[in-house]
Amino acid sequence: MLNRRFMLAVAAAAALVSSPASAQVEIQWWHAMTGANNEVVVKLAEEFNASQREFRVVPTYKGSYPDTMNAGIAAFRAGNAPHILQVFEVGTATMMAARGAIKPVYQLMSEANEPFDPQAYLPAVAGYYSTSRGEMLSFPFNSSSSVMWYNKDAFRRAGLNPDQPPRTWPDVFEAAKKLRAAGYDKCGFSSAWITWLNIEQFSLWHNVPLSTRANGIDGFDTELRFNSPLHVRHLQNLVELQRDNTFSYSGRTNTGEGRFTSGECPIMLTSSGFYGNVRANAKFEWANAAMPYYPDVAGAPQNSTLGGASLWVMGGRPAAEYRGVARFFTFLSDVDRQAKLHTDSGYLPITRAAYAKVKASGFYVQNPYLETPLLELTNKEPTENSRGLRLGNMVQLRDVWAEEIEAALAGQKPAQAALDAAVARGNTMLRQFERTVTR
């Protein structure tokens, strides 16, 4: 009897060793998604893992966008980088310059013999993450653009028409004053991502240069130009409006977005990707609209540019593991999956077919707020000032720019001096980056 039990145990152990689960190749995916968007990431991994037995995607939250990018770079230097690293759009130039640290997506898909047609992706999305030759370097994932969210119940309370949101900056300022008078005395309007909304997107939307060399796309020897009279006028307006809380500062990133869903700030400029949290947490009727503009600027509004993040494949992994990454990207590109991801999360559909499918379904008639960022991105044919931006050391640049904006908002510097300093300090950092990548 003892011998029979021993043989059964050996057989059971052998079965475990040879089971499909034990043979799975694990794919580590580091990301920065929180709240409702974190649930989307987890669900995608679960669905992929259930769809096949060869690979297992393991998503891991690593903190904010800058935290996740820094963690990935540090892990690569230590020799234990994840397979997939989510990097926000401002990290694009840094990742492109990291030769050997990344595996370009177009090479990954070709070597793994996975179906891949760059023309299938929306040009405004794919172009941001591709070389000038159209070679896609990272995989678009949670793409977004900036929009203006507003509280329709608050508009009614203030005597504003909730179906006619303000279109221009002067209109926003007047609406915010009425909202403050109607009881929203801590915040008439606010902005998350203070530099993205009020320097980067602001420049492109008004068709004025953020920097030379097509905002860095045509070369790392770019020089900043956002201390123009228009930029100074806008910052000065924010400074003056903050004195009575018509404008209220909400920080450098998106940590202040909750001031909108809580009802404290009835107008919030931030990412279209905020949709999931708005839908889950706002207890009032809401909508969004295109970003405001100054009507005396010729040609405005122009077009917006991308926000959000893409998935970079880290270098130095075996071919067998890269096959799993490529398989996962094919899974993400599925038309039905992209359409559902768009309508569930608010992030842009990355393929033409997914956008066409959602549009043909009539979804945008009932949910126009999810088409707002797409209409902004395609509002006009992009110019040298509005193709996008690609600046090295962008994470650090944003911190420096935010420091100077905060100094102006605190009354420590005039708006002109703050933006002059932001440009001068930023140009020094750009030269440092240029020397690094051209050695």
Q: Across residues 185-202, what is the average pLDDT?
A: 97
Examine the pLDDT at 255 and tell me if it is beyond 70.
yes
> Considering only CA atoms, which of 104, 68, 70 is closest in space to residue 86?
68
Instruction: Centre a 10 Å sphere on the Cβ of residue 185 and count the other Cβ atoms it contains.
Output: 13
CA triple 271-267-202, angle to 5 deg = 50
Spell out the domains of the chain, with CATH numbers in brackets.
25-144+307-369 (3.40.190.10), 146-303+392-438 (3.40.190.10)
> Per-residue DSSP letters for 89-125?
GGGHHHHHT-TTTEE-HHHHHHHTT----GGGB-HHH
Q: What is the pLDDT of residue 17?
A: 43
In what helix (H) or strand (E) does residue 147 lie, and over which residues does it extend? strand 146-151
Contact 85, 311 (CB under 8 A): yes
How confident is the model over 139-182, as pLDDT tens digits? 999 889 999 999 999 999 999 999 999 999 999 999 999 999 99
For 395, the enclosing helix (H) or strand (E) is helix 394-409
Confidence of residue 36 (pLDDT cuts 50, 70, 90): confident
**Rounded CA gap, 289 and 371, in Å?**
10
Confidence tier at 226 by pLDDT (50, 70, 90): very high
Quote the percentage of the chain above a pLDDT of 70: 95
Task: Render pLDDT for 75-104 as a digit per residue (tens, 0 to 9).
Answer: 998 999 999 999 998 888 888 888 789 999
| pLDDT at 436 > cutoff 50 | yes
Alpha-carbon distance 38 to 50, whole Å? 19
pLDDT at 439: 60
Most confident option among 74-83, 388-397, 418-427: 418-427
Q: What percent of the chain has pLDDT over 90?
A: 74
SS3 of residue 244 by DSSP: coil
Question: Is it the case that residue 10 has pLDDT exceeding 50?
Answer: no
Contact between 370 and 339 under an 8 Å Cβ cutoff? The reply is no
Q: How far apart are CA 67 and CA 194, in angstroms?
A: 18
Enumerate residues 6+ apart whose C-beta is below 8 A from 240.
Answer: none
In this structure, are strands 307-314 and 139-144 parallel, antiparallel, or unpaired?
antiparallel
Q: Which two tokens stand for residue 55?
A: 């690979």
Flag whether pLDDT at 353 surpasses 60.
yes
